[in-house]
Amino acid sequence: MTYEVELKFALDDRATVESSLRELGAQQQGVEIQRDHYFNHPDRDFALTNEAFRVRNIDQENRITYKGPIVDTETKTRKEIEIPFAPGARTSAQLEELLKELGFRPVHTVTKKRTIFALDWENRHLEITLDEVDEVGNYLEIETLAGEDDRESARDVILKLARHLGFHHAERRSYLRLLLEKLDADGQLGE
């Protein structure tokens, strides 16, 4: 079983963090625009079960992702299943229509510009992203994949890197939750 182990932090000074990452040997992998179309299950509320189900579009590339409940109190560690499917906007729209026909309810779309870095640190491969999330703000994410037997060591490496970069207060809410809370506070939900 593969787990995604991640931490996310509000990002105020992108230039300093980017410089620190480069000093550690992080290599920029690219910049992409991601559109995540979230759905809720027909018979249970993913907001209550701490699960996530989305269709992600990156240019013409498409992926469907399920994220299980969080299994760690310090990081967002959860089972993740991600499957690429045929490229193109039409294919993605067809899958979304299929999900609706099966009873899945669209929740919202989160759009972000993601700058991706790779870093091998403390004997672990990490993906570090600097995210500009529409209507939400700027964030740093540190992520790695782990098996059942090395989840704790993965968590410890991520926590250590976060502290090294000067981050101490992780944001445990998802981008979707942050966006929905902002829209609700602004009176824009349900319009």
Report how far residue 51's alpha carbon sits from residue 93's, in angstroms, rounded to the nearest whole number: 22
Q: Give residue 186's pLDDT band: very low, low, confident or very high (50, 70, 90).
A: confident
Summarised one tens digit per residue, pLDDT across range 21-41 is 999 999 999 999 999 999 999
Question: Does residue 42 contact residue 32 with C-beta atoms inside 8 Å?
Answer: no
**pLDDT value at position 190?**
64
The whole-number average pLDDT for the span 161-180 is 96
Does residue 24 belong to any structural domain of this protein?
yes
Overall residue count recorded for the chain in this entry: 191
- Residue 90 sits in a domain whose CATH number is 2.40.320.10
| In-domain check, residue 190 | no
Alpha carbons 171 and 11: distance in angstroms, whole number: 11
Q: Quote the domain boundaries for residue 135.
A: 3-185
Percent of the chain with pLDDT over 90: 93
Domain count for the chain, please give it: 1
Question: To which residue do tokens 């902002």 refer?
Answer: 182
190 burial class (0-12, 13-18, 19+ CB within 10 angstroms)? exposed
* 3-10 and 27-40 strand pairing: unpaired
* 191 domain residue, yes or no: no
Q: What is the pTM of this model?
A: 0.92
Q: Mean pLDDT across the stretch 157-177?
A: 96
75 φ, ψ (degrees, to nearest 5): -125, 175
With respect to residue 65, please indicate whether it lies within any of the assigned structural domains.
yes
The closest alpha carbon to 8, from 68, 82, 76, belongs to 76
